[in-house]
Amino acid sequence: MVFSLSYYKRSLMVYRATLTVERSDIMPGAIVGIYGVQRSGKTLIAYKLVKGLQQACKQQGIYLPVYTNLYSPRDSEFRFVNSMDELPLDLSPKVVLIDEIYNGCDAQDYRKLKDISIFINTLGKQNCLFVFTSIDAQMVYNRIRNQMNVVILVKSSSTHIHYRFLYLNTGKYTDFVVEKNAALFEGVFYDTNFIPLDFDWEMKSWREKLEKFYRDNYDMQIKL
């Protein structure tokens, strides 16, 4: 079953605010970039956004797997991965969430750019929503930045977290503020002290996966 665009249009409960995400902003092939300084709350909003989407899909009877380098041993619905080879190549709906993307995808590391480009440029065909966090936009490969649909800017004070959602397709934005309290972290199961490893973007098994993709979906026997 291909995940149609309508399943991505949901009202997501993010903390105490309801954020309506338009179909054109969050859909297969969309990229959501989240930026903020260390310990500002960018990973928190990434987790809650993706978790909210996953739960909304579950209510519709749709299973939405999440592949992520967030270490969440208490959340069985988040699959820990640390390389491209661990991601499936198929038509099923999925989310890829990469925390601290510059660990393995630094804008200055030109050796990995070809494999990263292949992945980014086929997100829509793979029925995949891509979400990442970074301290600064300039630390991220420009072919990822140039295709972003939503940017979330995060800053934090001692008592509150401030978020601005920028919808790049329309030029609109939404601001909201949440209070730091115990309720904010209810239902949050990732390890906040885990240091992300360098994500391996090298597509070692891409040819084999692509051959299988053609066989499974098009009954084509192609040798690459």
Are 78 and 70 in contact by the 8 Å Cβ rule? The answer is yes
> Rounded CA gap, 7 and 28, in Å?
10
Residues 147-171 as b or e (16 or more Cβ within 10 Å = b) = bbbbbbbbebeeeebbbebbbeeee
Q: What angle do CA 146, 136, 180 make, to 5 degrees?
A: 120
Average pLDDT of the residues in 42-58: 90
Four-point Cα dihedral 88, 107, 36, 188, nearest 10? 20
CATH superfamily of 5-218: P-loop containing nucleotide triphosphate hydrolases (3.40.50.300)
Q: How would residue 158 be classed by pLDDT, with cut points 50, 70 and 90?
A: very high
Domain boundaries, the chain: 5-218
> Rounded CA gap, 103 and 140, in Å?
10
Average pLDDT of the residues in 142-167: 93
Weakest mean pLDDT among 4-8, 71-75, 121-125, 174-178: 4-8
Predicted local distance difference test score (pLDDT) of residue 83: 92
Q: How would residue 110 be classed by pLDDT, with cut points 50, 70 and 90?
A: low
pLDDT in tens, 93-103: 999 999 999 88
Are 100 and 198 in contact by the 8 Å Cβ rule? The answer is no
Predicted local distance difference test score (pLDDT) of residue 59: 85
Average pLDDT of the residues in 198-210: 87
Q: What is the mean pLDDT of the chain?
A: 83
Are 218 and 90 in contact by the 8 Å Cβ rule? The answer is no
Token pair, residue 84, equals 């491209």
Residues 175-193 as b or e (16 or more Cβ within 10 Å = b) = eeebeeeeebeeeebbeee
Surface-to-core class of residue 90, CB atoms within 10 Å of its CB (0-12 exposed, 13-18 middle, 19+ buried): middle
Q: How would residue 107 be classed by pLDDT, with cut points 50, 70 and 90?
A: low
pLDDT in tens, 19-39: 444 444 556 788 999 999 999
Predicted local distance difference test score (pLDDT) of residue 108: 56
pLDDT in tens, 159-184: 999 999 999 988 999 898 999 999 88
User: Other C-beta atoms within 10 Å of 128: how many?
Assistant: 26
Average pLDDT of the residues in 194-223: 88
Percent of the chain surpassing pLDDT 90: 45
Amino acid at 149: N
